[in-house]
Structure 1
Amino acid sequence: MGNMLDYDKTYAEFKWDVPEYFNFSRDVLDKWAQDSDKLAIWWVDDNDNEVKQTYAGLCQRSRQLCNVLAEQGVKKGDVVVVVMPRLLEWWEINAACLRMGAVISPGTTQLTAKDLKYRFESSEAVCVITDEDIAPKVDEVRNECPSVKSFILVGSNREGWSNYEDLISGASDQFEAANTRSDDNAILYFTSGTTGYPKMTVHTQASYGIGHQITGKYWLDLTPDDLHWNLSDTGWAKAAWSSVFGPFNCGAALFVHHTPRFDIKKTLTNLEKYPVTTLCGPPTAYRMFVLEDLSKYQFKALRHVVAAGEPLNPEIIDTWEKFTGLKIRDGYGQTETVCLCGTFPCLEVRAGSMGKPSPGFIIEVVDDEGNILPRGQEGDIAIKVVPERPVGLFKEYWKNPDKTASSYRGNWYITGDRAVKDEDGYMWFVGRADDVILASGYRIGPFEVESALIEHPAVAESAVVSSPDEVRGEVVKAFVILAPGYQGSDELVKELQDYVKKVTAPYKYPRKIEFVEALPKTISGKIRRIELREKEWAKK
């Protein structure tokens, strides 16, 4: 029996319940920790090392870390930047920050020194916790980031850094959780936009801590008996969705595979070997799964699989179902939200659709004036915020009131994505309203890639758009006008790609580069990326 048996009934009867004071670690994690044997995390690495961590153990380590951070000068409301692969410590740090009311700001391990400096400065972070791969990048910019006072290193020793384990082993495990208000800041994400550098998206104890009850219970369909595997990297909001708040709200255990790179065969082998019951992955992963011989594998425990990030093509859904008997259920949301729409377990899967609005949300497709459009017409995906603002919506773009204000239109929060709602209430994703590229589940702002390219001497000007790709859905393509004296060649393409990898995070590099004489522009001189993008997609 699933958590949602009748969509219409659940949707009609759902009510948010938000107390004035709420602390996720105290009110949720500690509750599950009362059963001292209850499993929270089953961690494995590529060499088959395994660690099983209980809720009780996780909570104890998080209290020790609270004492460590307090001693290092971290106070309620202070920002702690955490950049780490899938190490157990990552979950301890999340639990500790939430417990003491500090604001955790996770980042992907692909960040460069320049990215880190931008994050430290804009968030006024006081503490950074990372591993030996990232620490040298932090050291490159630490003199320019006076707000950061505490440098904690996981897994090794380095001059100028405190060792995580040394600090914790000497710390008391008694710590009274901060009596945080539901609307106190708890998490800070940097999200890429079309223009300018990433914006700071702030979530509260409630918006993710309570809001993700929807994600865990209804979309992931989790119970205290499940072992849930989320393939997302710890740097993305998807990790908060499916690796922290979704499963832990439901008392499920989390399966974690710590690996430097995504390996298809190893992933399928792990799905077969371990009793994973539910799986959450980006569409890219499923596209790669169905290229393998799935008849060789048997996923005995697996009962429910979901995908999010971009629509899935029907062939992928059919092939996966043919070999596993399971339908891939799509879900939709943003860094700014919890799960907004989903093909919940009781709903029929319609390939290419992201399902129906989540309980607790009124979601419509609206026009430029904020009027609800007739079914079947394309418009902006909007969340109703008047008279009642749904819990799972972010608080604001921090320190950017103009950007926050521009996300609202009348009684609606405008997601920036476009869709069509059909006669039966299913939502069909059309694309971004702006030029943000969604490649392999990553959100890439064209501006950041263009800014990197322009720093190379061979590039006079560039425009970056999404381009269709069989495996990844869409990839980054750059149109480049060369500076005088340079000739386009395969060698130059490779050189520019490597250059972008070095200057921005590697996942942002343009997989396709086309040398052109001119770029389409508006009267005011702005590049018309939409024109280039439409041409690319017309070739499909």
Structure 2
Amino acid sequence: MTKLTARSYDEFLKSFRLEVPEHFNFAYDVLDTIAKDDPRRKAIIHVGPDGVRREYDFDWLARSSARLANALAERGVRKGDRIMLILFRRIEFWVTMMALHRLGAVAIPSPHLLTVKDIAYRVQAGHVRGCICEDSVAHTVHEAREQCSDFDLLIQCGPGQMLPGWQHFDHICATAADSFPRPADYAGGNDPLLIFFSSGTTGNPKMVEHRHTYAIGHYITGTYWHNLEPGDVHLTVADTGWGKAVWGKMYGQWMAGATVFVYDFRGKFDPAALLSVMAHEGVTTFCAPPTVYRFLIRQDLSKYDLSKLRYCTTAGELLNTSVFDDWKKATGLSIREGYGQTETTLQIATFSFMEPKPGSIGKPVPGWDIVLLDHDGNPCSTGEEGEICVRLRDDAPVIGLFNEYVDEPEKTAAAKCNGFYHTGDKAWMDEDGYFWFLGRVDDLIKSSGYRIGPFEVESALISHPAVVEAAVTGVPDPVRGQAVKATIVLSHDVEGTPELAKELQNHVKKVTAPYKYPRIIEFVDELPKTISGKIKRAEIRKRDLQAAD
């Protein structure tokens, strides 16, 4: 596809069409095509935890993934088998994903922080056949194996000691053929491609299944939201265990002609180290959650040569206006927000041909008919808060929308009902058609007749230099119905005092509407979170209710 040069959002919306080849399979239709037409084109630039820099071209990636596909096929992996990946940002992650796509096996990218219980649950619930994982988590997987039947294919990456019954990634690939022709019954189109276990803040995670067409849905992510051009070097800061990795480290970037830059750091995030590697490698386009930008602007950015950086994006949480302003002042670049879910590709975004509004997630992506619905299912008017919903049509399937919650038809039916997919997220739309995210439906606070989204209050709080993290929830109040409460983690050198609490309340009143300020402030050492880093506001609410009894 040829990238459109749109002068406005309306022109883009009118002109763009996503072409989906029949029975599309990314490994054969994109990876192998590039490897054939331009074999030496760089697919990945990788800097490992040892600081060693390596380049991998598309010919190498095609051959390596074919070798692994043959090795797995020899060990009985077939179309439809589910394989868990617990890998850091090592090159084997990309090789494995492409190999599984070739086989038609279903990839399950998973975080390395999973416990024995977490892994056992996922293997049992997902009928997982095998796992390819880091040597550092092999013992955890091995222990979980004792609770799981038919979990018999265990492959380790890295130099760690091999456990009984395990095989090594390098060994099984060493003698395998480096060609894997497209089978007659290859998987593609609406066949299952991958499963993400959603990191729900309550209950067990759901299994979100995507089709092979999901990959091509990210063409817009790379080409238009990241605004990539052939030859760009793109860095998305994301762990390979979560959906954001395939948003920014694979599908859309390669289709746009860019090289994926991988910084495989381990342990605690070091903003200075990230800036150094970005400068040294000449990263041209960058995507990271707002938290990362907050850490970066605390550094002396003048020390780093970011002259090649030309475009920046963010998603995952609300972008604070002060972060937007500070980053632009230091780099000259705006940060353009986007919105999507584990269940979707990019739904709403601020594109290059749009004027960014700090705090707004932008406008709907072509192919996504976004409607805000009130609690009665009626469309909302301008300025009115409603649930973000996607209109569904049988004659025009939404490319990138999940297929189902595996083995949970009632939850799938609840999410896809009455002609809409219900995201469970709240927003409002301004007179210019820009959407403003408010938070999860269950997280909204109803206080004295006002409906208050936690994100806006949290954004105001973290703009104060003493605040590192904040979670805003509602607590029962006999007069207001609910009162706004802020649970706050402070900088290590700051003490939580009544005077600071008052200062933070006044700060919020100045940054946002005064009625939204937190009447209750609690200082804590850390916030309860899921393994993906999402704040468990429901756990805070539950704890507060128990304390009130």
User: Structure 1-normalised TM-score?
Assistant: 0.82
Instruction: After TM superposition, list the pairs within 5 Å mapping 1:87-106 onto structure 2.
Output: 87-106=90-109
| 1:394 CA displacement | 0.7
RMSD: 2.8
The reply on whether 1:253 has 2:259 as its aligned counterpart is yes
Code of the aligned partner of 2:119: L
Q: Percent identity?
A: 39
- Residue 16 of structure 1 aligns to a residue whose secondary structure is coil
| 1:478 CA displacement | 13
CA distance 1:499–1:290, shift in 2 (3 Å) = closer
| 1:52 CA displacement | 0.4
Whole-angstrom CA distance in 2 between matches of 1:144 and 1:396? 26
Q: Which runs of 5+ in 1 are unaligned?
A: 437-464, 480-495, 522-540
Q: Which residue of 1 aligns with 2:497?
A: none
Per mean C-alpha deviation after superposition, the further-off stretch among 169-178 and 470-479 is 470-479
Q: Which residue of 2 aligns with 1:56?
A: 59
1:354-410: CA deviation from partner (whole Å, max 9, x where unpaired): 011111111121112332110110000011112533111111111111000001242
Match of 1:186 among 183, 193, 203: 193
| 1:126 CA displacement | 0.7
Match of 2:380 among 373, 380, 383: 373
The reply on whether 1:272 has 2:271 as its aligned counterpart is no
- Residue 53 of structure 1 aligns to a residue whose secondary structure is strand
Whole-angstrom CA distance in 1 between matches of 2:6 and 2:318? 23
CA distance 1:369–1:499, shift in 2 (3 Å) = closer
Match of 1:216 among 209, 213, 222: 222
Instruction: After TM superposition, list the pairs within 5 Å mapping 1:157-172 onto structure 2.
Output: 157-160=161-164, 161-172=166-177
Q: Which residue of 2 aligns with 1:110?
A: 113
Native 8 Å contact 2:343 2:402 kept in 1: yes
Q: Which residue of 2 aligns with 1:537?
A: none
Native 8 Å contact 2:370 2:389 kept in 1: yes
Native 8 Å contact 1:478 1:510 kept in 2: no
Q: Which residue of 2 aligns with 1:444?
A: none
Per mean C-alpha deviation after superposition, the further-off stretch among 504-513 and 253-262 is 504-513
Native 8 Å contact 2:44 2:260 kept in 1: yes
Match of 2:430 among 418, 422, 441: 422
Whole-angstrom CA distance in 2 between matches of 1:259 and 1:420? 38
Q: Which residue of 1 aligns with 2:13?
A: 11
| 1:292 CA displacement | 1.4
Whole-angstrom CA distance in 2 between matches of 1:2 and 1:226? 17
Q: Which residue of 1 aligns with 2:48?
A: 45
CA distance 1:413–1:239, shift in 2 (3 Å) = same
- Residue 286 of structure 2 aligns to a residue whose secondary structure is strand
Instruction: After TM superposition, list the pairs within 5 Å mapping 1:233-248 onto structure 2.
Output: 233-248=239-254
| 1:300 CA displacement | 1.6
Whole-angstrom CA distance in 2 between matches of 1:322 and 1:498? 31
| 1:196 CA displacement | 2.0
Per mean C-alpha deviation after superposition, the further-off stretch among 170-179 and 61-70 is 170-179
| 1:327 CA displacement | 0.4
CA distance 1:80–1:221, shift in 2 (3 Å) = same
Instruction: After TM superposition, list the pairs within 5 Å mapping 1:360-509 onto structure 2.
Output: 360-387=367-394, 388-435=396-443, 469=462, 474-475=470-471, 505=531, 507=533
Whole-angstrom CA distance in 1 between matches of 2:162 and 2:246? 29
User: Structure 2-normalised TM-score?
Assistant: 0.81
Match of 2:300 among 288, 293, 316: 293
| 1:158 CA displacement | 0.7
- Residue 145 of structure 1 aligns to a residue whose secondary structure is coil
Per mean C-alpha deviation after superposition, the further-off stretch among 151-160 and 317-326 is 151-160
CA distance 1:107–1:477, shift in 2 (3 Å) = farther
Native 8 Å contact 1:105 1:188 kept in 2: yes
Code of the aligned partner of 2:237: L
Report how many aligned residue pairs link the two structures. Answer: 474
Native 8 Å contact 1:284 1:472 kept in 2: no
Code of the aligned partner of 1:192: S
CA distance 1:519–1:349, shift in 2 (3 Å) = same
